[in-house]
């Protein structure tokens, strides 16, 4: 049995993270991670149509937190962005919409 959410927000939520996999029209994985209470939560990864990893990082109930990394098609790290802790009342972010 999975344990309750063990991410930083576990004290704010009583649900369990559920896997989520978004797909491109051809069926290949576009994004993979978890949702908790209907919000992106925990580790997430976004992929290009060719299957290469584009971006990865952590969410805390819909808010980007911690270190996010972006790679080029050859797998070389091209960018690191650091996000502070989640702040209640701010708008959640989704890197797929940026």
Residue 73's domain comprises 38-84
Whether pLDDT at 93 is above 60:
no
The tally of domains found in the chain comes to: 1
Distance CA 67, CA 94 (A): 15
For residue 65, tell me if it sits in a domain.
Answer: yes
79 within a domain of the structure (yes/no): yes
pLDDT score at 15: 87
10, part of any domain: no
Residue 19 in any domain: the answer is: no
94 is a domain residue: no
CB 8 within 8 A of CB 86: yes
Is residue 7 a part of any domain in this protein?
Answer: no
CA 51, CA 17: separation in Å to the nearest integer? 25
More reliable by pLDDT, 96 or 36? 36
Is 14 a member of any domain? no
Is pLDDT of 98 > 50? no
8 within domain boundaries: no
Q: What is the pLDDT of residue 85?
A: 82
pLDDT in tens, 42-88: 999 999 999 999 999 999 999 999 999 999 999 999 999 999 986 55
CB atoms within 10 A of CB 53: 15
Which pLDDT tens digit goes with each residue over 4-39? 444 444 445 578 999 999 999 999 999 999 999 999
Enumerate residues 6+ apart whose C-beta is below 8 A from 29.
21, 22, 23, 47, 51
């Amino acid at each position: 049995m999975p344990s309750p959410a063990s991410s930083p927000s576990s004290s704010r939520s009583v649900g369990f993270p559920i896997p989520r996999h978004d797909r491109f029209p051809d069926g290949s994985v576009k994004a993979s991670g978890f949702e908790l209470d209907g919000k992106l939560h925990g580790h997430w990864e976004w992929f290009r149509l060719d299957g290469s990893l584009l971006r990865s990082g952590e969410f805390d109930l819909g808010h980007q937190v911690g270190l996010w990394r972006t790679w080029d098609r050859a797998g070389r790290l091209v960018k690191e962005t650091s996000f502070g802790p989640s702040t209640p009342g701010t708008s959640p972010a989704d890197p797929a919409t940026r």
